[in-house]
Amino acid sequence: MNSNREELCTAPALPAEMREDHQGYSWARSVIGQSGGSVYRLHGKPGAPELYLKHGSGAVADAIVDEMVRLRWLASYIPVPTVRKFIYAKEEAWLLMTALPGETAYQVLEARPADRVAVVDALAGFLRRVHAIPVSECPFNNDHTYRLGVARRRIDNGLVDEDDFDAEREGWTAQQVWQSLMERLPVTPDPVVTHGDFSLDNLVIGDGVVTGCIDVGRAGTGNRYQDLAILWNCLGEFGSTLQDRLLMTYGVTEVDKNSLQFHLMLDELF
């Protein structure tokens, strides 16, 4: 267990259809990135795989539905958790999934500095694989026009965490971010199938290779800089050399600085 990312707990109240699925497991609850829902790791059952359970109600339940349908679609193209069971009832959703083998990319970069270049190369290769999925076969839209509409509703409903903005926008209001976004339009079209939240915490590394990605609820057709910007920003914690390495290894010969900054600011509103 990573003590600063999860805490041991007992099993929550579960729907009757799921009670047999957790017998014999120990439980740990994630303390990061829950967005109003709950994420549990089921572990320690002899001869049984680790599992993850997501639970939420209302808008969180809708997001879990989004993730479930995308997991089932993406499984034909890239490694993602397998949906073991899904239940939606009375505006509550429960999603039980297999765990991917390995550690998050963030954990590997933090713990093993000597492996950082190799990890970034592996992440860039995996991102090319995601972006190579045929756009014509993707039933989900996540382009910047759609995301701007969602972002505007989040601003109007007071849902944007202005205390969590990047250092470059510390002290800004959500409306100031919005205005800066408007000033950067139009964005050069560059449609690919995107993960939508391609962060170091959502990519899993095992034995030096990417074993898959998680938290795919925003996957859909969009600009490739949606993914590049988020991963590039995450790598900033480990130095600009790795940021440059990502772009070079991915195959960016000339950075579209407007698209990069636009998608960095757009992500602030989510």
Q: How far apart are the first and last CA of the chain?
A: 28
> By the 8 A CB rule, do 71 and 97 touch?
yes
Residue 115: CB atoms within 10 A of its CB come to 14
Distance CA 127, CA 117 (A): 15
Q: Is 28:40 a contact under the CB 8 Å cutoff?
A: yes
Count the Cβ atoms, other than its own, within 10 Å of residue 240.
Answer: 10
* 201 labelled catalytic: no
Q: How is the beta sheet containing 103-104 ordered, strand by strand? A: 103-104, 203-206, 209-213
- What is the spatial distance between Cα 113 and Cα 110, in angstroms, rounded to a whole number? 7
From 62, 143, 156, 197, active-site residue: 197
Catalytic site positions: 197
